[in-house]
Structure 1
Amino acid sequence: MKNMHWLILSICLLYIHPTKSLLPPDDSSCSNQCFHQLPSECPSPENPCRCRQLTNCQKAAVCCNVNRFTLKEGLACGNITAASQIQSLHIRNASFDSFNLSANQNVWRNLRYMTITDGHIKKIDGEFAKQNSISCLNLSSNHINSIEDRALNTLFNLSFLDLSHNNLTDVPSFRKDHTIFLDISNNMYLNCSILTNTLQSHPEIAFVNENQTFCYPTKDLDFGWFQSQATLAFSQVKAKYELEKNCHQNCSCKTVSVNLAPGKMAMFEVEMNCANMSFLNLPVPLPDNTVSLDVSNNNITSIKELSEPSYQNLRSFIADNNKISSVQPLEGTKFISHFNTLSLQRNKFKFLETYVLDNIQFERNFNQRKLRLGYNTLQCDCNTMKLKVWLLSKLSHIPDYNHIKCDNLNVRIIDLDASKMCQSPQDWTDYIYYIITAEVLLLVGLIAKVSYDYWVFKTAGYLPWPANRMPRLPCDWLCE
């Protein structure tokens, strides 16, 4: 809104500047924008001369209801010639298949304000003479379909150009080596790519009536896959341009689609590319509604920024060839629950936390979800068998599973043998079990033998062999 106020103020200053005014001087009754006269100022219908000089405005004239022939006759009979030095001219309700600017050059040469409105003109062709003084040109409300490329190129003093309320599909060519105020509102067939290219190529152009300027988005140049009969306001096109121009730290931003809802501003989906930037950390914050981020070939060590609010809409994250060592920061993020692509190839993983990977849902509804972990070499041990089991159950979603290997064994994770990886701990455990079992059996046998000997001694009065061959011990009296 502040920019709009500044723009309006700037236009007003141009209008009242004593040397660069867009309005005829000396008479307040002529102080309409770019010299615009009401139909009441036209010659009367009974007057055969369709042009007349105005008595209330200095060096000003008006022509009404003219065609190719009656315009030429009217200029002559109204004494609107080079000698009269008319500076302000309004042509109303002109009917031309093609309005040739090269005609009547002797009159156009002296003009500072030229207005042609409310007519039926299909095309503007020809060109103004190089020695002209036109600073304000108003061609609004004429149903113009096209303006020839060279038609306006000789307007060296042009400050205001009004092309509103026509049927233009393009912004015509004109000299843009200084600030020019352009009103191209209410041309309902404008292509958004045209406005975008104009913003990129000519930042010195100040657009007037932005809220009434609309265009059709295109599939290939503007908004990705989006294409419909709905139109975009210029303010939305400008927001897209500013977003791409001011991307984070020299990254490149590209709008890939736009979501339109009645009564709401367009919501752009953004792809951001920050590859090969020597980043040490992930960029923060991301532009609003960023859905894809590529930070490949940097020096990033952690992905903890994925929990930042600006990452909440991210669906594709590519961080290949970095120094990331853990997937643990993925736990609890929105990204892990709705991503489409996660690529962490060629990083510094030594372990992959399976308790985090288990949180990734790969049901049938997520057939497009892809996870790339290839070209990482892990330190493998018996615990790595959990990762192997997880990989084998998700092969269709992990295209590069063949390239996840063990650094210490030079073997693929999916080829690990549990009997070899977990052999040593399992053998020692078995030996301990055997020893404990043997000790229990010996203890039970000893108790049984002692009990048997005691029973024989009590019933038969003697000790069975080998108890009667054993020497007496000092503690034997306890048993007697």
Structure 2
Amino acid sequence: METLLFSKTFRCIVFFGWMMIAVMSCPSEMKCKRYSLDTSKSLRVTCSGGLHGKFQTGTRRQVHVITLCRWPNSTFDPTIIEHRFPELRNLTLQDSEVTRLKAFSSDLKQLQVLNMSGLRLNWIADSTFSELKKLRVLDLRNNSLSQLEQSALESPPALQKVYLSGNPWDCSSDLTWLVDEGGNSSVVRRVVDRDKMICNNETYPKKPVLPIMGMLKTLQAECPTAPPTNCTCHMNYVAPNPDGVTLQPFTTINCSYRGLIDLPDKLPSVTTTLLVKGNQISSLKPLVNNPHYRNVMDMFLDDNHIRSIEALEGTDWLLKFRVLSLRSNQLTEVPTYALDNALQRNRNAAIVHLGNNPWICDCFFTPSFQDFIIKYRKLVKDIDDVRCSSVHGDENSLTQIQALSRSAVCSEPSEYLIQPLDLLNAILASLIVLVIGKLIYDYWSFKKTGKLPWLVAKMP
């Protein structure tokens, strides 16, 4: 009985001794909130406001779990932990305004779990965790991270689980490694909550990271960046598909001012806008027969050598396009009836540019073309620049077609010139007068002499 009583008394003394040691590790004005001694004789310590006290040499090696709250500095330097607790296995830093971590050294040889969630970390260096050889779990949720290089997660050899959700990710191409299933697939599998990561930039607000990264990776792989096209590719935004589940990317491929003679043979499958301004393109046939142009809705073909758009007449592309810009080409006329028919059925059409072309102004083309651009003035955004071609001595030279009067393009001929049609009209009128005159003469002759006209007398 006495032995049992002595044993319990001794254990209580040891327990309170550990408590006093734990309290000494916190600042005097802010005591530890929690402390305990588990059956494995490892000490769990939770401190608030900093860690300034000292542990005895034999005690430091028994501390395996530490939780630090309300850290007083914006930068957390692990050396304050490394030198004191070399056997530390679990470190948590929470409820603090920490924005930056200094690199951990190899002194923390036993550290397996590192919880840095709920802080304000905005940047992680490639070498921050590289020396933590036994690190298995890394929690970086709910911080202010916008980018993270895959190399920051490659170095810890034992790393198994990484948590990254709850950060305002800037969904640029720097995060495409998250969908890489090739050489770094083991690194990708470490991010166990990657399907919960959300974009927070203006381009893809509140969109899931993985689908966006998949689209960007596909766009990079298919972008015609090699000569002679030398194009650049950019995903402007994404929108929900009609199914409400998947996302539809809207991308711009810029191949302007590249000296191209023809439209690019290949485009990314997700291309919606193509810029090919300032080239020497003359044919639009790829829009009709090239499957790579199936999803292209916006075509900017300004400053090229296009003379005709008849290749587009009756095509499906005219029924679905959104923007067609043909400024500063060599167009003299277009099939207005075909365009009118297509625009009546096309609910997507938003912009048509036709200005700065050498439009022919005559009585055959201009009236119907004028009716067309006035009818669709809300679509023809540059209607003021749609003018007659520059012709020396022509009174309609460079005149706005919308302002032309019909008499200006279908004017009466000069009084000094006799047109073939007018000559034919004069002959027909003369013949009519002669026939009527002959009829009157024959009637008068019959009344006076009683003789029938010679032609009538000869008829059987």
| CA-CA distance at 1:65 after TM superposition | 3.3
Superposed CA offset, 1:435-454 (max 9, x none): 21321332343245346545
Whether the aligned pair in 2 keeps the contact of 1:53 and 1:78 (CA below 8 Å) is: no
Question: What amino acid does structure 1 have at the position aligned with 2:94?
Answer: I
Residue aligning to 1:329 = 311
Residue aligning to 1:20 = none
- Pairing 1:145–2:140 present: no
Match of 1:390, SS state, is: helix
Distance 1:162 1:375, change over 3 A: farther
Whether the aligned pair in 2 keeps the contact of 1:291 and 1:315 (CA below 8 Å) is: yes
Residue aligning to 2:232 = 252
Distance 1:274 1:133, change over 3 A: farther
Distance 1:210 1:449, change over 3 A: farther
Superposed CA offset, 1:129-173 (max 9, x none): 656586986425x64424485888465546877434732331688
Distance 1:289 1:248, change over 3 A: same
Question: What amino acid does structure 1 have at the position aligned with 2:431?
Answer: E
Residue aligning to 1:274 = 255
- Pairing 1:345–2:327 present: yes
Distance 1:325 1:452, change over 3 A: same
How does 1:305-384 map onto structure 2 within 5 Å? 305-307=286-288, 308-361=290-343, 369-384=350-365
- Pairing 1:169–2:152 present: no
| CA-CA distance at 1:239 after TM superposition | 1.6
- Pairing 1:434–2:426 present: yes
Residue aligning to 2:279 = 298
Name the CA distance, whole Å, in 2 between partners of 1:365 and 1:343. 17
Whether the aligned pair in 1 keeps the contact of 2:106 and 2:132 (CA below 8 Å) is: no
Match of 1:264, SS state, is: coil
Name the CA distance, whole Å, in 2 between partners of 1:329 and 1:211. 52
Distance 1:364 1:66, change over 3 A: same
Residue aligning to 1:36 = none
Name the CA distance, whole Å, in 2 between partners of 1:293 and 1:149. 36
Name the CA distance, whole Å, in 2 between partners of 1:136 and 1:426. 105
> Relative to structure 2, which stretch is displaced further, 184-193 or 129-138?
129-138
RMSD: 4.9
Whether the aligned pair in 2 keeps the contact of 1:127 and 1:154 (CA below 8 Å) is: yes
| CA-CA distance at 1:320 after TM superposition | 0.6
Name the CA distance, whole Å, in 2 between partners of 1:443 and 1:175. 101
Match of 1:66, SS state, is: strand
Superposed CA offset, 1:421-442 (max 9, x none): 4445995324312321321332
| CA-CA distance at 1:211 after TM superposition | 6.8
Distance 1:335 1:158, change over 3 A: farther
Using the size of structure 1 for normalisation, the TM-score is: 0.63
- Pairing 1:121–2:94 present: yes
Name the CA distance, whole Å, in 2 between partners of 1:402 and 1:174. 52
The equivalent position to 1:405 in structure 2, one of 388, 395, 409, is 388
Residue aligning to 2:46 = 67
Match of 2:343, SS state, is: coil
Whether the aligned pair in 2 keeps the contact of 1:67 and 1:95 (CA below 8 Å) is: yes
Whether the aligned pair in 2 keeps the contact of 1:170 and 1:190 (CA below 8 Å) is: yes
Name the CA distance, whole Å, in 1 between partners of 2:365 and 2:122. 72
Superposed CA offset, 1:236-256 (max 9, x none): 232243145342334222222
Superposed CA offset, 1:253-276 (max 9, x none): 222222246883432221222211
Name the CA distance, whole Å, in 2 between partners of 1:394 and 1:211. 54
- Pairing 1:237–2:218 present: no
Name the CA distance, whole Å, in 1 between partners of 2:337 and 2:458. 63
Superposed CA offset, 1:346-382 (max 9, x none): 112132222233235379988x833211111134433
Question: What amino acid does structure 2 have at the position aligned with 1:236?
Answer: P
Distance 1:259 1:330, change over 3 A: same
Superposed CA offset, 1:159-201 (max 9, x none): 877434732331688994995478785543212206754559x
Name the CA distance, whole Å, in 1 between partners of 2:247 and 2:321. 23
Residue aligning to 2:79 = 102
Distance 1:107 1:149, change over 3 A: farther
Percentage of identical aligned residues: 17
Match of 1:163, SS state, is: strand
Distance 1:66 1:320, change over 3 A: same
Match of 1:361, SS state, is: helix
Question: What amino acid does structure 1 have at the position aligned with 2:311?
Answer: P
The equivalent position to 2:189 in structure 1, one of 208, 222, 244, is 208
Match of 1:397, SS state, is: coil
> Relative to structure 2, which stretch is displaced further, 259-268 or 403-412?
259-268
Question: What amino acid does structure 2 have at the position aligned with 1:145?
Answer: L
Q: How many aligned positions are there? A: 393
Name the CA distance, whole Å, in 1 between partners of 2:247 and 2:111. 34
Name the CA distance, whole Å, in 1 between partners of 2:197 and 2:380. 43
Whether the aligned pair in 1 keeps the contact of 2:275 and 2:300 (CA below 8 Å) is: yes
| CA-CA distance at 1:456 after TM superposition | 4.7
Question: What amino acid does structure 1 have at the position aligned with 2:216?
Answer: Y
Whether the aligned pair in 1 keeps the contact of 2:331 and 2:358 (CA below 8 Å) is: yes
Distance 1:187 1:476, change over 3 A: closer
Question: What amino acid does structure 2 have at the position aligned with 1:300?
Answer: I
Distance 1:327 1:448, change over 3 A: same
Question: What amino acid does structure 1 have at the position aligned with 2:388?
Answer: K
The equivalent position to 1:391 in structure 2, one of 373, 376, 383, is 373
Whether the aligned pair in 1 keeps the contact of 2:273 and 2:298 (CA below 8 Å) is: yes
Using the size of structure 2 for normalisation, the TM-score is: 0.66
Match of 1:348, SS state, is: coil
Structure 1, unmatched stretches of 5+, are: 1-43, 55-61, 81-88, 468-474
